[in-house]
Chains A and B, each alone.
Chain A
Amino acid sequence: MNKQVKSAGIILLAVTQLFMLTGCWNRRELNTLAIVMGIGIDKAQAGDEIELTTQIIKADKLHPAEGQAGSDEKAYFNLTNTGTDVFSILRQDTHKVSRKLYIPYTQVVIFGEDLAEEGIQDYLDIFMRDHEARLNMNILIAPGKASDTLDFEPDFGKVPASSIAQLLENRSATSQTADLELVDFMKCLTNETAATVAPLITTEGTGKEKRVKVSAGAVLKQGKMIGKLTETETRGLLWVTNRIKSGLLNVNVNGIEATIENIKSSTKVTPEMKDDGTIQMKIKIKQSGSLGSQKGEENLATPEKMQQLNQATAQVIREEIQQSIKKARELNADIFKFGESIHKKYPKEWKALESNWDDLFQKLDIDLEITAQITGVGRLGKPTSPEKE
């Protein structure tokens, strides 16, 4: 018994000393981190250099102590540096920042338009590779300079990058904004025929009045920006790819303008190969909404009028989608992922069709079947107006 205890004791002592030798490797205290919330990448003046702007938060200004009055000081600072690639610029930043940059909390990566036209995937490689970077970072394109969009006073909260991320989350209210997460971008890059749409971020006003607007989209093919979509065209894209949440549709029924609020919508896209080898895309949309508001005094809550409303809504949706398809064909970008769905359903035939896809995309027969349904009219049936005798 004594011998066992003794040998057990020696082993335990040795193991404990091993712990001391390692000295808590990988330990990082919270107050040694410079937390990066947003990154903006622009084309620099000189040659093929880029300008990287990182937005780092100042932790002690985030929650000012009770002693100090609500100060005007910003809780973040933007650091701009030039270089040839993102990784080296991030490291060069440590010459100017007293702490090591910590990127897991980066929520947005904004590219300037001129850089986007040259291609963005080279600059995103580090984020795809690094363990710390999260794959659900949002990618946005700015028509002007990206560093401009990161420097404004947010309405709620203290950090502009968070505010931009929340603006993106708000897109479900109108469903007119595209969204591009890093993981979706990666998926699109692996596909030669597909294109994606990233949201556009524009600035308005100057100084204290400055604010940003996130809406619509920019089309990226193979990582290069080739064109922009308007809000309506973006919504058309979202209709087809089944990403519509809420949103308002303005319809006109016999001269009466009404606004329908979209409640639920589901889309099914199926490619059908005809006997002669041509492909028809069948897009089936089932939508239900409610009458949000109307102009005039006519009662739209009657069955015939509802029927007309349904048809008008379907027509509006159809037009939006057609606008979107037209623009996509103009830019020759398969933002609807038709190629992918054909590949999934007809893998053998796809091999032959793939090389000719650009041509095929223009001539693709698209069949839209839209069922719109109004499921409610709110509290009022007939709009409030004097009773007609």
Chain B
Amino acid sequence: MVAASDVKDDCVISQLVQGCLTGEVILLLDHSDQGLLVTCRGGDKRNVEEPSSESVIRGPREGFTECLRTNVSLIRRKIRNPALTFDSRVLGKKTRTSICVAYLKGTTNQSLIDNIQKRLDKIDTDAILESGYIEQYIEDAPFSIFSTVGYTEKPDTAAARILEGRVAILIDGTPFVLTAPFLFEESFQTTEDYYSRPYFMSMLRLVRYTAFFVTVLSPALYVAVTTFHQELLPTELLFTMVAAREGIPFPAVLEAMVMLLAFEILREAGVRLPKPVGQAMSIVGALIMGDAAVSAGLIGSPMVIVIAITAVSVFAVPLQADSAAILRLFYLILAGTMGGFGITIGILGTLVHLSSLKSFGYAYLSPIVPLQVQDLKDSLIRAPLWMMITRPHNMANRDRTRQRFFVPPPFDEADDSENQDDKQ
């Protein structure tokens, strides 16, 4: 006799086949018209370890793995509440990948859940190999450079987003979990912001916003000022720049574009190179090539500095790295043709686009546009935890309250006895 926990006994042939392909055991008996499907899963899988794409200084270092069951259990361990619901389905005609949609029943808007279920229903494709496939099929604005679906590799990030009223989508075979909806401000938030005290973290948040603007606008502004609006430069700075540009054969726009291209090539090459060679190559490439180019008289040294700052700043906001790269090039071309006026037009166009962008029905730039003063506590700065009483305004309008008190710690004994009942 063999004992097994999970046995299914009324099965059709297709179910037996699918079960076998997902790692279950088929037990067929002679002279019986039924087959048994026994779950005794094993198999090699990667350990739960620190994710390589999102490392933290303070906070848990677990990361999702490629196995769906493990990922589900990682989230369950963060939210031990019966309201946490996982709806599974199978997508992809040939790959038959298992997908789980996770949300907090009763907190998350039912319309959001229905919306996502509907979009997932519409997916009718051969292969779902990674969460990116799902993202590109369900996203709101496929022609926009800004992504409207977020992703994460860490369970505490996913759990935090679920608790805010968002929906997480787990896909078998990839450690990257999707979260929907995804707003612009989320690319500037990290989980560490909430684990440390608010003052320094607010400053860091402002630094991230600044880094985004620096990375997108620096080359364009530099080119615009030195080519069209020289009168804006202070006299000493003008001298330095003119001295640096003497003898440079190329116009400033061309210099900037060549340097940006060189940087992208170096970065891409650095990612693909094997680890021991990769580190050395990127440092060597960046420093020495830049220096040599200046000595050879091909590039001016202020340009090297501008591109270096641009290149480094983009890593402060990794979730916007792709859109930043395209925006930067767009502004650079506008600046090179039309100067400051061009940049203004570019920014105006971007703002118009962003304001009309929606992610699963929620405005991309909320809570700034449309203005929700309650939710500003978590966008540009991070208010102390005891101030964040409500969830984001339109995410979970059936269950808005996160916590009931608004007083900073330490609390009196009188207050303590009041808050015994745990209202979610």
Contacts and interface: CB of A to CB of B under 8 A. Distances in A.
A104 interface: yes
B227 A59 contact: no
A26 B230 contact: no
A162 B238 CA distance: 13
A29 B239 CA distance: 14
A33 B230 contact: yes
Given A19-B337, A162-B235, A28 B242 contact: no
A30 B245 contact: yes
A194 to B, nearest CB: 30
A60 B243 contact: yes
Q: Is the interface of B mostly helix, strand, loop or mixed?
A: helix
A36 to B, nearest CB: 12
Interface string B339-360: 1000000000000000000000
B228 A33 contact: no
Contacts of A254: none
Interface residues of B, number: 23
A104 B230 contact: yes
A132 B246 contact: no
B336 interface: yes
A22 B235 CA distance: 30
Contacts of A105: 231, 235, 238
B394 interface: no
A62 B243 contact: yes
Interface in A197-212: none
Contacts of A107: 235
Contacts of B231: 104-105, 132, 134
A77 to B, nearest CB: 15
Contact of A59 (B235, B246, B338, B339): B246
A60 B240 contact: no
B8 to A, nearest CB: 44
Interface stretch (B94-102, B247-255, B385-393): B247-255
A29 B252 contact: yes
Given A60-B247, A162-B235, A27 B240 contact: no
Q: Which residue, A30, A57, A134, has most C-beta atoms of chain B within 10 A?
A: A30
Interface string B366-410: 000000000000000000000000000000000000000000000
B191 interface: no
A22 B337 contact: yes
A24 B337 contact: yes
Given A27-B228, A104-B230, A59 B239 contact: yes
Q: Which residue, B240, B241, B245, B252, has most C-beta atoms of chain A within 10 A?
A: B245
Interface string B243-268: 10111100111000000000000000
A88 interface: no
A71 interface: no
A182 to B, nearest CB: 15
A31 interface: yes
B187 interface: no
Contacts of A28: 227-228, 230
Contacts of B39: none
B339 A26 contact: yes
Interface string A1-45: 000000000000000000100101011111101010000000000
Contacts of A134: 231
Nearest to B242: A59
Interface string A85-102: 000000000000000001
A30 to B, nearest CB: 5
Interface of A: 19, 22, 24, 26-31, 33, 35, 57, 59-60, 62-63, 102, 104-105, 107, 132, 134, 162
Interface of B: 226-228, 230-231, 235, 238-243, 245-248, 251-253, 336-339
Given A31-B242, A105-B238, 12 more contacts: A19-B337, A24-B338, A26-B228, A28-B230, A29-B251, A35-B242, A59-B239, A59-B243, A59-B245, A62-B242, A63-B240, A104-B230
